[in-house]
Amino acid sequence: MQSPYRLIIWGPGDMGGRALRLALDSPLFEVVGVKVVSPHKHGVDIGTLVGLPPVGIAATTDKAEILALDADCVVHTPTTPALLQGADEDVIDLLASGKNVVSGASYHNASMPKWLSESEPALDVLRAVSEMKVTGDVFGNREKAALAGLRLAMTALDSPPGRPLRPMAGVVAERLLDRVLPRRASGERLQAACLAGGASLHGTGLHPGLMVEQVLLRLAGLVDEVRAVRFLEVGDLSAAPDGMWGGLAGLGFGTPLSAVDSNHAIALLQHFYFDDVIGNVAHHLWGIEPDQIRVERLVYPVPARVAIAAGGTVIEPGTVGAIHMTYRGYVGDRLLMTNEECWHVGAGNAHLGPDHPNSLAGGHRFTVDGPTRIEVDSAADDLGSGVEWSAVTDISVNAILGVIPAVCAAPPGVLRPNLSPRYRLEEV
């Protein structure tokens, strides 16, 4: 397939907006449509949306208009909460319509089962939801009402009078749950949509995408035996877009310490990303299948030491100023991979342990454990934390746009990262 590639941008927020701007400026791409969520963006010229001159194409909130377009690929960048609101059905429809999809929001390993997968029993999903803590505006009013109703239902079933009703409730929940809280599509259903439309699906970005599936796994390829791997990301979110995840309060920042633990919404939603990462590592290094892997999480808050105003959130000393999230992948009792995210707001609230990258602005640590141990740090300039967030977006967007030619050329199906050596002749 020759360029220009006809693109649709689905969700032009922080990441999608950057992708739209780069695509409009690139001879490699021709943007033929943009799917927006906000009604006030409907009908607006897509160039105007990102501060460029008008190009004569209007953004739309109408999914049917997007499905009817002739396009090679859809750049899929909805908000993370959208994954609880039926985003998988949109992707299935896009694939079945013959459009390749490259996503920065999901599908880094579509086969990996998660707590909200459609293969999970409805009552197990209800239990996870009943224990979920929500802060800020990570969910809209409709979702909050649905979550409250599901909590009440599970509480009633856990009470002594309700326990005998569980078998019947399980049957009813299987029929009704997806109308309230759509479960995530299975890898089989996504693959079937790919084959039906003759299209491919791939998820990528900075992390998941590049940091572990490319950098860490390439480091692991340098040693004869790998026993376990670890990836740690430290980030200052003070310069993050104000609406990300519903704002910093939606992530738990600035709230009482008791509001954030392993059952906070951020803790559960991150399974959509880090379970996929762990599944990719386990399969690539040891040939382990997704259904053999158990993922455990531990999430805890760290009190802020200094007051800071970031976006629309004010964080006072003693409230949540940093959050440490750990996801561990096991087969039986064997620990295969640890993925840690340590986020803070403002350098004065950084939570850095002795095994963290030595940077208040953020960074990464890659560890490969075996008879030979490899440990590599990458750290941001402490004076440039604001620039660092822009770099995060740019790297993710470049990763997404960079794989489009390969995805369009690939045979139909769900695609995983490929570490096979590729060569070209030296040009002198």
Q: Is residue 14 classed as helix, strand or coil in its secondary structure? A: helix
Task: Provide the pLDDT for residue 385.
Answer: 46
pTM, rounded to two decimals: 0.91
> Is 423 among the domain residues?
no
Q: Quick check: is 9 in a domain? A: yes
- Considering the domain architecture, whether residues 106 and 128 belong to the same structural domain is answered as no
Q: Are residues 240 and 310 in the same domain?
A: yes
Residue 393 lies in a domain: no
Let me know if residue 396 belongs to a domain. Answer: no
Asked if 62 and 26 sit in the same domain, the reply is yes
Q: What is the total count of domains within the chain?
A: 3
CA distances 294 to 265, 290, 352, Å, are 20, 9, 27
- Give the CATH number of the domain where residue 69 resides: 3.40.50.720
Q: What share of the chain is helix, strand, coil (3-state, %, to 5)?
A: 40, 20, 35
244: left (phi over 0), alpha (psi -120 to 50) or beta: beta
Phi and psi at residue 56, in whole multiples of 5°? 90, 15
Element (H, E) at 123: helix 122-130
In a domain, 391, yes or no: no
Q: Are 54 and 47 in contact (CB under 8 A)?
A: yes
Residue 104 and residue 237 in one domain: no
At residue 131, φ and ψ (nearest 5 deg) are -95, -5
**232 and 327 assigned to the same domain:** yes
DSSP string of 57-118? -B-BS-HHHHHHS--SEEEE---GGGGGTTHHHHHHHHHHTT-EEEESSS-SSTT---TTBT
Domain-located, residue 359: yes
Buried b (16+ CB within 10 A) or exposed e, 243-266: ebbbbbbbbbbbbebebbeeebbb
For residue 206, the one-letter residue type is L
**What is the span of the domain harbouring residue 170?**
122-180
Do 189 and 267 belong to one domain? no
> 314 and 212: one domain?
yes
Sheet of 228-236: strands edge to edge?
A: 294-303, 320-331, 334-344, 228-236, 362-369, 374-379
The pLDDT of residue 243 is 67
152 lies in the same domain as 225: no
List per-residue pLDDT tens for the chain, 428 residues long: 567 999 999 999 889 999 999 999 999 999 999 999 999 999 999 999 999 999 999 999 999 999 999 999 999 998 888 888 889 999 999 999 999 999 999 999 999 999 999 999 888 888 888 888 988 877 777 777 777 777 787 778 778 887 887 777 778 778 778 887 889 999 999 999 999 999 999 999 999 999 999 999 999 999 999 999 999 999 899 888 776 766 899 899 999 999 999 999 999 999 999 999 999 999 999 999 999 999 999 999 999 999 999 878 899 999 999 999 999 999 999 999 999 999 999 999 999 888 888 778 788 999 999 999 999 998 776 544 444 566 778 889 999 999 999 999 999 999 998 888 778 889 88
Name residues whose C-beta falls within 8 Å of residue 274's C-beta, 6 or more positions apart in sequence. Answer: 208, 295, 327, 339, 341
191 and 106 housed in the same domain = yes
**59 and 197 in a common domain:** yes
| Strand ranges, E, within 205-278 | 228-236
Say whether both 135 and 73 belong to one domain.
no
Q: What angle do CA 167, 173, 177 make, to 5 degrees?
A: 165
Do 166 and 221 share a domain, yes or no? no
